[in-house]
Amino acid sequence: MPPKALITGITGQDGSYLTEWLLGRGYEVHGVVRRTSSLERSRLSHLYVDAAVYGQSLHLHYADLDDPTTLRRVLLRVAPDELYHLAGQSHVGLSFDIPESTCEMTAMGTLRLLEMVRDLSKPVRLFHAGSSEMFGRPAVSPQNEDTPFLPVSPYGAAKVFATQMVRIYREAHGLYAVNGILYNHESPRRGENFVTRKICRAAAAIRDGRQKELSLGDTSARRDWGDARDYVRGMWLSLQQDTPRDYLFASGILHSVQDVVEVAFASVGLDWRQHVRQDPRFMRPAEPTNLVGDASRARAILGWKPEIGFEQLITEMTSAERTQSGSAA
Ligand code: GDD
């Protein structure tokens, strides 16, 4: 019998890469999708249309984090060996506008899932996607798994609640439950309103004459950016250990939004000065500072290290935008 994995958030960037990673290792992969009038499955469409994959080793189920009955039913039916909980409202800026629904999905949704897992007769290994945003404005830099959380956004606070609940359920109820503390991770499949994709997309569109300028918020903001494909490998590795514990995944290197702009525009032969402007609409009420991670534990125990660097990632993302739009790369 192949091992079975169930993924919440399977249609997202990480969910789609994780699906490919697990299928490549012989897993039967099940995904939870929300039933809406327009189903966003573009990141999975290459698998969905493959008759040798969809309905064979890949299955999608309708359920929702805010509809516990549906989720419980899927969990009971699938009876997975591994459960990757990646779903939730993941845009930090947006969480200032819709804090209640962000907390409902990210915080309460995770607690509901833990309650279901606790009741399962067959034990499941749970991975929960935490975030560097939980550190907010940390007193120490770089951060590790023991650094106290000081979130500065509703999203960060919701993730702290969910992460702490995972720890509580691991300790109090003996669940095999792991938090990944994930720093920013990007790819050509990144959502279009995250800053790296927004910049790479604009650089390609301006180069091809489809856009004139790019408006950004705080370009001095700095992040520890890695590649999503490296991070999903870390998720999987963290569930293959005898003892469940939390792991931090980061590149350990800080870059500014301005650095992203410069690499992306240079990669298509453009001078960013002629096209980029600041727009207060994209500024956030509060920004975290010094979010840079120390992934020593993941390196030592999991043998994990990031393989794709910042410049390679941004150049690939920009080039992918040109390929997708039909321009010469
Ligand atoms: N989105 C966006 N749009 N961000 C901008 C812009 C803009 O026009 N201009 C500047 N920024 C700045 C943001 O203010 C932030 O400081 C930085 O760019 C990165 O923003 P995002 O790409 O939206 O990512 P994030 O760091 O807020 O959140 C991502 O990483 C977290 C891990 O730390 C998300 O993937 C979260 O879900 C994830 O947990």
What's the whole-number mean pLDDT along residues 200-224? 97
Could you tell me if residue 202 is inside a domain? Answer: no
DSSP helix, strand, coil percent of the chain (3-state; round to 5): 45, 15, 40
Whether the predicted pLDDT of 328 surpasses 80:
no
Total tally of structural domains belonging to the chain? 1
pLDDT tier for residue 39 given thresholds of 50, 70 and 90: low
pLDDT band at 36 (very low <50, low <70, confident <90, very high): low
Q: What is the mean pLDDT of residues 105-115?
A: 97
Atom of ligand 1 nearest to the CA of 153: 27
Question: 263 lies in a domain?
Answer: no
Token pair of 27, please?
């897993």
Residues 6+ apart with CB under 8 A from 34: 62, 63, 64
User: What are the strands, taking DSSP E only, across 63-112?
Assistant: 82-85
278 lines ligand 1 (CB under 6 A): no
User: Phi first, then psi: what are they for 278, rounded to 5°?
Assistant: -90, 145
| Residue 118 included in any domain | yes
Active site residue 187: no
Residue 161 lies in a domain: yes
Average pLDDT over residues 194-202: 98
pLDDT, one tens digit per residue, over 41-58 is: 789 999 989 999 999 999
Residue 319 lies in a domain: no
Q: For the chain, what percent of residues have pLDDT higher than 90? A: 92
Q: Whose CA is nearest to atom 31 of ligand 1?
A: 184
Please tell me which residue in 28, 133, 287, 321 is annotated as part of the active site. 133
What gap in Å lies between CA 72 and CA 82, rounded to an integer? 15
- Does 320 map to a domain? no
Q: Roughly how many angstroms between the first and final C-alpha of the chain, as a whole number?
A: 43
**CA-CA distances (angstroms) from residue 62 to 72, 82, 113, 263?**
11, 18, 15, 40
Is residue 110 one of the residues assigned to a domain? yes
Catalytic residue status for 131:
yes
Identify which of 86, 59, 109 has the alpha carbon closest to the alpha carbon of residue 234: 86
- Atom from ligand 1 closest to the CA of residue 291: 33
Pocket test for ligand 1, best of 86, 92, 97 (most atoms within 8 A of CB): 92
**Which domain does 98 fall in, by range?**
4-186+225-249
Pocket test of ligand 1: the residue of 13, 90, 195 to mutate, having most ligand atoms within 8 Å of its CB, is 195
Which of 131, 251, 267, 319 is an active site residue?
131
Instruction: Evaluate: CB of 153 within 6 angstroms of ligand 1.
Output: no
Per-residue pLDDT reduced to its tens digit, 246-276 = 999 999 999 999 999 999 999 999 999 999 9
Query: Is residue 318 domain-resident?
Result: no
CATH code of 48's domain: 3.40.50.720
Active site includes 133? Answer: yes
